[in-house]
Amino acid sequence: MKDKVVIVTGANGGLGRYVTQAFLDADAAVFGSSLKIQESDFAAANFTAVPADVSTRAGAKTLVEQVVARIGKLDVLVHTVGGFAGGETIVGTDDATFQRMMELNFYSTLYVFQAAIPALRKTGDGRLIAIGSRAATEPGARVSAYSASKAAMVSLVRTAALENKDAGLRVNAILPGTMDTPANRKAMPGADISKWVQPVAVASLIVWLAGEAGKDVNGAAIPVYGSDI
């Protein structure tokens, strides 16, 4: 990934931290973004912190513009930002929860795509990768808002892949099962974590998709379920 310019949203999050480090280890110039991120979050000369709120169209646009203005191009964008809500039936889920899930999981993806696609098209070999969820294609009970928002995100990914294949831009989604993150361990203390997906494995797949080996993958929603199948 040497000479590649990469943006990672949610760069210091549960998964984003692994994704950012994987690209740094691959010698990419990585611009890591989140609401609160600092240069000291990653001890690497090829890392730049860019605080941004990609839940708004203006925030996503400013993020991409800052990177392109500084480096002159964008090769890869990985969108790891998202959120979860569950525990209620469809009938019991209020409008605010549905709206919050759409804002965190669908609209943030939409805004990032709208901001990044023009720059990514210019490279002739751009990569756009979004993190979905197993729930996007295998929804469960009491997670209706979350599942619907992730399903909408996957539809957006597939549409973007079709619309931009003429420019060599590959757009893909990864659909992890439950990942072994500090937040999930805290939320599910009694779970069998041996079945969970390791974030480092997802990060490795993302770097592979972003590289030469992944050039033939486009419009895919790739399941990564660990041993919980």
Beta-carbon count within 10 A of 186 CB: 8
Residue 39 has pLDDT above 70, yes or no: yes
Alpha-helix residue ranges (DSSP H) falling in 39-195: 57-71, 95-101, 108-123, 144-164, 182-187
d(CA 55, CA 109): 8
When comparing pLDDT for 187 and 39, which is higher? 39
d(CA 32, CA 36): 10
Beta-carbon count within 10 A of 98 CB: 17
When comparing pLDDT for 227 and 74, which is higher? 74
Mean pLDDT of 13-36: 95
The predicted pLDDT at position 87 comes to 87
CA dihedral 57, 67, 168, 136 (to 10 degrees): -40
In the chain the domains, ranked by start, together with CATH numbers, are 5-224 (3.40.50.720)
3-state helix, strand, coil in the chain (%, to 5): 45, 15, 40
d(CA 215, CA 40): 33
Least confident of 14-23, 80-89, 126-135: 80-89
Q: Kindly list the strands in the beta sheet with 76-79, ordered across the sheet, starting from the edge strand earlier in the chain.
A: 47-49, 29-33, 5-9, 76-79, 127-131, 170-176, 221-224
The predicted pLDDT at position 116 comes to 98
The predicted pLDDT at position 189 comes to 85
- What Cα–Cα distance (Å) separates residue 28 from each residue in 47, 65, 129? 9, 19, 16
Q: What is the pLDDT of residues 208-222, one digit of tens each?
A: 999 999 999 999 999
**Token pair listed for 66:** 């800052």
Q: What is the pLDDT of residues 69-84, one digit of tens each?
A: 999 999 999 999 988 8
d(CA 93, CA 86): 9
Residue 223 has pLDDT above 90, yes or no: yes
Identify whether the C-beta of residue 42 lies closer than 8 Å to the C-beta of residue 28: no
The predicted pLDDT at position 187 comes to 82
Q: Roughly what angle, to the nearest 10 degrees, separates helices 57-71 and 108-123?
A: 20
**Token pair listed for 112:** 């990032």
The predicted pLDDT at position 180 comes to 85
149: nearest Cα among 220, 225, 78, 81: 81
Q: What is the pLDDT of residues 99-139, one digit of tens each?
A: 999 999 999 999 999 999 999 999 999 999 999 999 999 99
Residue 229 has pLDDT above 70, yes or no: no
Q: What is the pLDDT of residues 139-183, one digit of tens each?
A: 989 999 999 999 999 999 999 999 999 999 999 999 998 888 888
